Amino acid sequence: MRNFLKQTFASLVGSLLGLFIFCGVGTTGLLFLLFAAASSKDVGPVVKDKSVLVFDLSTNITDGKPSSSELLQQVLSTEDNKRMSLRTVLEALDKAQRDKRIVGIYLDGTDATQAKVTGFASLKEIRQALEKCRAAGKKIIAYGMDWGEKEYYLSSVADSIVVNPLGGMEINGLSTQPMFYAGALEKYGVGVQIVRVGKFKGAVEPFILKKLSPENRAQTQELLDDVWGEWRATVGASRKINPQQLQAIADNQALLLADQAKANRLVDKVGYFDQVVADLKQLTNSDKEDKTFRQISLKEYAEVSGKSLGVERDSQNKIAVVYAEGEIVDGQGDDGDVGGDRFAKIFRRLRQDKNVKAVVLRINSPGGSVSGSDVIQREVRLTGQDKPVIVSMGNVAASGGYWIATDSKRIFAEPNTVTGSIGVFAQIFNFQKLANDNGVTWDSVKTARYADTQSVGRPKSPGELAIYQRSVNRIYDTFLDKVAQGRKLPKQKVAEIAQGRVWSGAAAKKIGLVDDIGGLDAAVKYAATAANLGDNWQLQEYPKGGNLRERFFGQVSEQARTVLGVDKVQLKAPDPLMSEFQKLQQELAILRKMNDPQGIYARLPFNLKIE
């Protein structure tokens, strides 16, 4: 028996040891392959003379750089590998503008409609960078099969726009189509009680109404009109088309075939891809025998050193750029969240870092937890007492996203930024009818009247709702105070422009919620001036990425996919029904992130998605 136990134990240990060695060898082998692939390349990409920079319009452009987990996904996923940060794109275009080896930029719109949606404010900054390239003599050529408003907004900057003979474009204006769940909740017996302040606080409407309220409809219409007006003015200026003509196209044609797009001067040529390649080969003086034109992708070019071009800086004086991108949540938060405690810690460290002379807070958030927002805002205020804190608003900086901006020295926004939404709410669900209809009931034993207030087994009483309302009113009043003090506005005026109302960046500047129209670069330059740094400064970005360097993953991603047998997948056109399911899934994900300890939120309307 004793020998049997010894043999069994020895066998078990041997098996575990073998498994460990196997896993270790496998992991080591994979890492060896990855490092070998990385080391097989040169220190940096080689840019040949008379090259064209290829900008794939299906690139997923986000404010911040990917986290460590997202970096790992980039190795295995073709789609994630197309992700670039806005700052990286802008810096690459800045280098291209100065680089004599770059003779042109090709805007590849063949898969543009498959891109994860980038907001109009980010596109505005990229478009301005492309305009500088064109002014510097870089020829810009755009080609695509199907353009929507966002893709065309960027492509309209080009010297030459070519559409496939079987392609076309959708120029039918902008819309938003919010989902409403009140009917479904009512059908299945889920009760909803709302406590809010501000007649425009549309975030709660999907749960209590079956369509937009008149107030919410009015503010949404005004916001869309502002964004659409900026689109028409910008595109019209580039294409030399009167904004009224663009409105007529949207009202009367909407979907234009290739020939119609050319007849309306929206494109310059109707042609095939090989014809565009021939033009680009001529631009780059490529040989006729060459398979394609001399080129380098935007992502690869981003790895090119900018020192010789006067772009890269090396200084002990740091300007920190903090990317607050995503839902604001209480606590640390996950990747893609703006965790109150996590971002407060970042600001504490920046405040104590003597090398950091100024901070730019880049906000791309619809808000969320009031507690999380206030924790961040407090640290922003304390940091501002030691060094300048400048806010750059991205696509969305509203509600809690505006809360954290209030104590900054200066606020920059694009004209098509979505901001404001100064209001708070609490929503309370109960499942009494749903449970009762299925034979489930509750009972209660308590020592005080409100001991079971948190129960989901019944609606809240008038007395309980009054308690919630007092709390919401107090926080709303605090929000107004913070805006009034930070923006140096009379509280009465803030109360008039608050009410949960959403504003465009252009409108927000007129009413004092925003100081200047401009993007991230403008905010960084202002920060340098405010800190008296001249040209002696260098950027540092936060939150910091993971332990695995983005450069390493960018170099070996293609090799790793080959080694692991992960093939590129042909993206398919989105199914309309699936799109609606995905929209519902996204909103359920928002509900899961609502973790404020007080249950009170400062957030933009849930499904304000401009399409």
In this predicted structure, what is the pLDDT of residue 549? Answer: 47
Q: What are 146-203's pLDDT values in tens digits?
A: 888 999 999 999 999 999 999 999 999 999 888 898 999 899 999 999 888 877 767 8
- Its domain, for residue 283, covers 51-173+216-307
What is the distance between the alpha carbons of residues 99 and 148, in angstroms, rounded to a whole number? Answer: 31
Contact 377, 479 (CB under 8 A): no
Structural domain contains residue 566: no
Structure tokens at 310: 């006067």
Residue 321: CB atoms within 10 A of its CB come to 23
Contact 459, 189 (CB under 8 A): no
- Six-digit token string for 568: 């590129």
Distance of alpha carbon 226 from alpha carbon 504, whole angstroms: 7
Tokens of 413: 């926004």
Nearest to 506 by CA among 412, 366, 609, 380: 412
Residue identified by tokens 């929209």 is 583
The verdict on whether omega for the bond into residue 543 sits within 30 degrees of 0, i.e. cis, is: yes
Closest C-alpha among 525, 522, 543 to residue 358: 525
Question: Does a structural domain hold residue 293?
Answer: yes
In a domain, 265, yes or no: yes
SS3 readout for 269-297? EECCHHHHHHHHHHHCCCCCCCCCCCEEE
Residue showing tokens 């109150």:
340
User: Is 142 a member of any domain?
Assistant: yes
Mean pLDDT in order along the chain per 10 residues (611 residues)? 45 49 48 46 77 93 71 51 87 94 94 72 95 96 92 95 94 91 90 84 85 90 95 96 96 94 96 94 86 92 84 88 94 90 96 97 94 96 97 95 96 96 89 90 90 89 92 93 95 93 95 96 96 94 66 42 35 48 61 71 68 66
Give the burial string for 159-195 (b: 16+ CB within 10 Å, else e): eebbbbeebbbbbbbbeeebebbbeebeeeebbbbbb
**Catalytically annotated residues:** 201, 399
Does the pTM exceed 0.85?
A: no
The structure tokens 């073998």 sit at: 18
d(CA 194, CA 479): 19
Query: How many residues does this entry show for the chain?
Result: 611
> What is the β-pairing status of strands 389-398 and 356-365?
parallel
Whether residue 503 lies inside any domain: the answer is no
CATH (domain of 151): 3.90.226.10
Using alpha carbons, select from 434, 400, 433, 394 the residue that is nearest to residue 415: 394
pLDDT of residue 425: 86
What is the H or E stretch that residue 53 is in?
strand 51-56
Q: Is residue 330 part of a domain?
A: no
Amino acid found at 485: Q
What pLDDT, on a 0 to 100 scale, did the predictor assign at position 588?
Answer: 61
Q: Is residue 118 part of a domain?
A: yes
Count how many domains the chain has: 1
End-to-end CA distance of the chain: 74
Instruction: Tell me which residue of 593, 602, 559, 581 sits closest to 76, measured CA to CA.
Output: 559
Give strand pairing partners of 146: 168
Instruction: Report if residue 290 sits inside a domain.
Output: yes
Cβ atoms 216, 446 nearer than 8 A? no
Tokens of 94: 């800045």
Pairing of strands 139-147, 102-109: parallel
pLDDT of 64 reads: 79
